[in-house]
Amino acid sequence: MAITEKALSESFDNGFGTLGNAWNVDHSVKGEIKLAGHSGIMEWATGRDAGHGYGTYTVNAKVDGNQPGPGIVFWPGNDQWPGQEIDLLEVTPDGSGRQYGTVHWNEGGSDAYETRIFEGVESGVFHDYQMIWEPGRITFKVDGAEKGVITDHVPLDFASGGMNNTIGFLNNNHDTSLTVRHVEFTPLGETAPDSAPAFTPEFGPIILPAPEESVITPDVASHDGPVDWNAIAAQVMANYAATGSWHL
Ligand SMILES: [Ca+2]
């Protein structure tokens, strides 16, 4: 399988676009997706090389509400947790509405983590959230301003002998929501493109533990009905076996 060090740029002008696997996510407004209540969208975490590695991750998004619920979550490529989860946005549980970033790791079978509070970042408006993942260093920025740096327990990416992470968005609170208008990934050492590159599905599909009442829309804009998650996964695996690429 090819290492997926490819740029990604998703504007949500065509439904879920490159992030085709979602449950309970609203894409009725062209150019954005909205997660409210219990909802999520994520690339498939199919193995250590799923998703993306070192580089710059930029997400234009808006949090509404001041409670935990919304998340910009980079999930471990191998879908194992506790593990290599990196969160570009969560909300503190103290009612202050403060936002923060986190690096998680597996410490002897238990979840361990380190956080950085994003001081002065307000909810209710769109911000550019950015994570720069480099060897030994993760930097969080909001609207171009550095909000925190973590240098301990920074994982190696797949190309360096470690594991990649998949891009995802979650919301699990009826009093909060997360609206996302743009997602971009630029591999380390490359310059962000001036215009969105054509999407290729190779960084492709997704997986997360499916919630009990999944409403998944895997086939991008073609249907919105409930879908059997296991059947989708089986089809993706079959396609991969037959063609060498992940697709539905
Ligand atoms: Ca957009």
**CATH number of 8-243, picked from 2.60.120.200, 3.40.630.30, 3.30.930.10, 3.40.50.10860:** 2.60.120.200
- Lookup result for tokens 């219990």: 38
**Measured CA angle at 80 (ends 91, 208), to 5 deg:** 65
- In this structure, the chain runs to a length of 248
Alpha-helical regions (H) of 90-147: none
- Tell me, in angstroms, the distance from the centre of ligand 1 to residue 14's CA: 9
- Tell me, in angstroms, the distance from the centre of ligand 1 to residue 21's CA: 17
- Tell me, in angstroms, the distance from the centre of ligand 1 to residue 42's CA: 17
- Lookup result for tokens 């591999």: 187
Write the pLDDT tens digit of every residue in 58-102.
999 999 999 999 999 999 999 999 999 999 999 999 999 999 999
Give the model's pLDDT for residue 222.
30
- Tell me, in angstroms, the distance from the centre of ligand 1 to residue 63's CA: 16
| Rounded Cα distance, 20 and 52, in Å | 16
The predicted model scores a pTM of 0.77
- Tell me, in angstroms, the distance from the centre of ligand 1 to residue 135's CA: 30
For residues 67 and 176, is the Cβ–Cβ distance under 8 A? yes
| Rounded Cα distance, 143 and 128, in Å | 5
Secondary structure letter of residue 90 according to DSSP: E
- Cα maximum dimension of the chain: 51
- Tell me, in angstroms, the distance from the centre of ligand 1 to residue 181's CA: 4
- Ion ligand 1 — residues with CB under 5 Å? 11-12, 31, 181-182
Give which of 112, 6, 117 is closest to 51, Cα–Cα.
Answer: 6
- Tell me, in angstroms, the distance from the centre of ligand 1 to residue 12's CA: 5
- Tell me, in angstroms, the distance from the centre of ligand 1 to residue 169's CA: 15
Backbone angles phi, psi at 222, to 5 degrees: -80, -25
- Tell me, in angstroms, the distance from the centre of ligand 1 to residue 16's CA: 10
For residues 47 and 234, is the Cβ–Cβ distance under 8 A? no
- Tell me, in angstroms, the distance from the centre of ligand 1 to residue 64's CA: 18
Backbone angles phi, psi at 203, to 5 degrees: -85, -10
- Tell me, in angstroms, the distance from the centre of ligand 1 to residue 19's CA: 13
| Rounded Cα distance, 238 and 230, in Å | 12
Residue type, 174: H
pLDDT one digit per residue (tens) for the chain, 248 residues:
444 478 999 999 998 887 867 999 999 999 999 999 999 999 989 999 999 999 999 999 999 999 999 999 999 999 999 999 999 999 999 999 999 999 999 999 999 999 999 999 999 999 999 999 999 999 999 999 999 999 999 999 999 999 999 999 999 999 999 999 999 999 998 876 554 444 444 444 444 444 444 333 333 333 333 333 344 444 444 544 554 433 43
